[in-house]
Amino acid sequence: MEVLNDLVGYKNMKIYQNTDWFSFSLDSVLLPNFVTLRKNVKNIIDLGTGNAPIPLILTTRTDAKITAVEIQKDVYELAKKTVELNKLDDRIELLNMDILDLKNIYESDSFDVVVSNPPYFKLNESSNVNDDIHKIIARHEKCLNLEQLAYMAKYLLKNNGVFAMVHRTDRLIEIINVLSKNNLQVKKIRFIYPKKNTESNMVLVEATKNGNVGLKLLPPLYVHDEDGNYTEEVLKYFE
């Protein structure tokens, strides 16, 4: 069912969602607030934008031009309606295409920043997948895997450009190895925990193309307090 909601934390923004497919999660709120946006940033691209929550939030942090790519036509149409409703057509350009085909329309070194909230799970014969194709593509590496994502980030980024992503903590070593193989030097990591005294389940990672060695580990981010309520930091994103 298609619904129109307020974009969390942004009273003047609305977002179209289809509750039968998936709804954007806290991950898509944390990532655009985590990524480093330098003053000279002019071009940003969001790979696998879904219904475009990340580009919407980024418009509140930067005046840069934002390109958002989504492979699923009906999800792309939701994003398009959202961008038009918020009168952000001049700020956000939407592309309905396979991320791997971006090489056909962009030269290498075209963007200052690449962001992505990609599928988290490998897809194999033993994968426990949902029957709905929208959820399969959003959650599992059916159309884009980690290696392909890193390769495209490297291709699209200018030298010293920034790549930021959110992913599962249990794949962090793989993520660092794959990024390094693609000349993306990890510079900033922040672990996300459901609450204190639990294991981290999500991680925010930022890397620079051909960057110097030097890693900054940020303080942990706790989503819930002991009573199960959102922590003060997370609530700031929902104000």
- Residue 163 pLDDT greater than 80, yes or no: yes
pLDDT band at 147 (very low <50, low <70, confident <90, very high): very high
pLDDT score at 26: 85
Residue 46's DSSP bridge partners are: 68, 115
Residues 172/203, Cβ–Cβ less than 8 Å? yes
Tokens encoding 166: 């959110």
What pLDDT does residue 234 have? 87
Which residue's entry shows tokens 């993520």? 175
Rg (CA), the chain: 17
Tokens linked to 198: 């639990």
Residue 179 backbone dihedrals phi, psi, to 5 degrees: -65, -45
Tokens of 15: 């977002």
The per-residue pLDDT for 173 is 96
What was the pLDDT predicted at 175? 97
Sequential DSSP letters for 196-225? TTS---EEEEEEEETPPS--EEPPPEESB-
Distance, CA of 107 to CA of 102 (rounded, Å): 9
CA distance 135 to 55: 21
**Terminal alpha carbon distance of the chain:** 26
Which two structure tokens, joined as six digits, stand for 38? 């330098």
Instruction: Tell me how crowded residue 70 is: count the other CB atoms within 10 A of its CB.
Output: 25
98: CB partners within 8 A, 6+ apart: 71, 143
| Prediction pTM value | 0.85
Q: Interhelix angle for 172-181 vs 146-156, to 10°?
A: 40
Q: Identify the pLDDT of residue 97.
A: 94
Sheet strands (E) in the chain: 2-7, 10-18, 43-47, 65-70, 92-96, 111-116, 157-168, 184-193, 202-209, 216-217, 221-222
Compute the mean pLDDT over every residue in the chain, rounded to the nearest whole number: 86
